[in-house]
Amino acid sequence: MGVTWWDPWDIGDGTIGQRYGATVKRYDLIHNLIDDIRKDPYGRRKVVSLWQENDLRETPGLAPCAFLTMWNVRGNYLDMSMIQRSGDMLTASGAGGINEIQYAALLMMTACTTELKPGIFTHFVANEQIYDRHMENAQELLRRAEEKKQRETSDASDKQPALILAKAPGCPFEEYTIDDFEMQNYDPVRPQLKFELGI
């Protein structure tokens, strides 16, 4: 699919081992979750765990960072809590990082498939870090945030960025594509910062 950020964790066979998507597929975790939401919406056992000891022992590779989600139906809404054992604040697990965007999209897709509305997304990171090699970029991000704060006015027309999923309720989970998502009101700051990967 052209995704290259996993390349540094390649175990030598073009994969990151029996992890993440391979674990989801092996145990049919997403379909099991969707079936449970439909059959027992108010049940309290909607847990998806990517931390499977057999999988971790089967192949070398990165142990899952974002490894556990818990799901709850609240009226017409589907809420999700995500537990992350470790996170790189500036690239993955901080506000707007790749982990948050991916799991927000997963919540939206699962809610749409089960004909619910995406509800509250709660993200807990047990060990959050900023690497030494990222300190200069961290200072730049703080400077940019302060500049933005000084530019902002009480203008109510200033809209926040939003990730929109354009699919009809009940869409089969397998039918989602990247083209179903749209970022609205996103105005990135230039130049884009580059972050050396911390492994």
Tell me whether residue 19 is in a domain: yes
Q: What is the CATH number of the domain that holds 92?
A: 3.30.572.10
pLDDT, residue 95, reads 79
Q: What is the pLDDT of residue 150?
A: 86
Which one is catalytic: 22, 65, 111, 112? 65
Q: How many structural domains compose the chain?
A: 1
The residues that bridge with 123 in the sheet, in sequence order, are: 82
Tens digits of pLDDT across the chain (199 residues): 677 888 888 999 989 999 999 999 999 999 999 999 999 999 999 999 999 999 999 999 989 999 999 999 999 999 999 999 999 999 888 877 889 999 999 999 999 999 999 999 999 999 999 999 999 999 999 999 898 888 876 555 568 889 999 999 999 999 999 999 999 998 888 899 988 876 6
Q: Is residue 197 part of a domain?
A: no
**Cα 19 from Cα 4, distance rounded (Å):** 16
Tell me whether residue 195 is in a domain.
Answer: no
- pTM here? 0.91
pLDDT of residue 2: 79
The domain of 159 spans: 7-184
**Is position 29 within any domain?**
yes
* pLDDT number for residue 158: 66
199 within a domain of the structure (yes/no): no
Position 93 in a domain: yes
Strands 87-88 and 128-129: parallel
The number of beta carbons lying within 10 Å of the beta carbon of residue 174 is: 9
Instruction: Compute the residue count for the chain.
Output: 199
Does 103 map to a domain? yes
Is 171 assigned a catalytic role? no
Q: Which helix (H) or strand (E) holds 78?
A: strand 77-84
